[in-house]
Amino acid sequence: MTAGYPDIWCSDVWAAWSLVATQAAVDAASRADPAQIRSLRVLFAELAGQEDARDWESLLAAIYVGIAEASGNRAYEALVYELWQVLIAAGPSWDVAARLWPVRGWAEVSLGEVIAGLVDADPGPVRRAMERHLGGAVDALDR
């Protein structure tokens, strides 16, 4: 059985997801190992070359989960994954792939800044980059 959620509830889920995803990225800046960063770079390269919106969204989700995994906090990893699943199951008004696909170039550049910050292992720029990335996503989702 698939649960349906009111849009206002999805806004709360997005807010919670954003907080967890941002803190996971901040923690990953000081904890990610070289293999995890390489994996994120590979996923990011695949994301940039993707021509299908649904596949693009799947890669985007994999990057977010990969960042959470790199934080070393399994609760962050589980929350990032589970809350994302709630959002993508919420229906057309929260269709992440459809809403972000038109601004994918911007989304990719801003997410690239997050990954670059992880490479530099500097939590401050990672936090700011993730906040910019998610702020732009909110703008796209609100259209």
What pLDDT, in 10s, does the model give residues 51-88?
A: 999 999 999 999 999 999 999 999 999 999 999 998 88
Per-residue pLDDT band at 142 (split at 50, 70, 90): low
Tell whether 63 is covered by a domain: yes
Domain that holds residue 123: 7-141
Amino acid identity of residue 111, one-letter, is L
- Tokens representing 71 are 């934080």
How much is the pLDDT for 1? Answer: 36
Q: Are 71 and 77 in contact (CB under 8 A)?
A: yes
d(CA 39, CA 16): 26
pLDDT tens for 101-138 read 888 898 899 999 999 999 999 999 999 999 999 888 77
Residue 1 placed within a domain: no
Supply the CATH number for residue 21's domain. Answer: 1.20.120.530
Structural domains counted in the chain: 1
Alpha-carbon separation of residue 112 from 3, 73, 82, 106, 123 (angstroms): 33, 22, 23, 10, 15
* DSSP, res 2: P
pLDDT tens per residue across span 4-36? 545 667 788 889 999 999 999 999 999 999 999
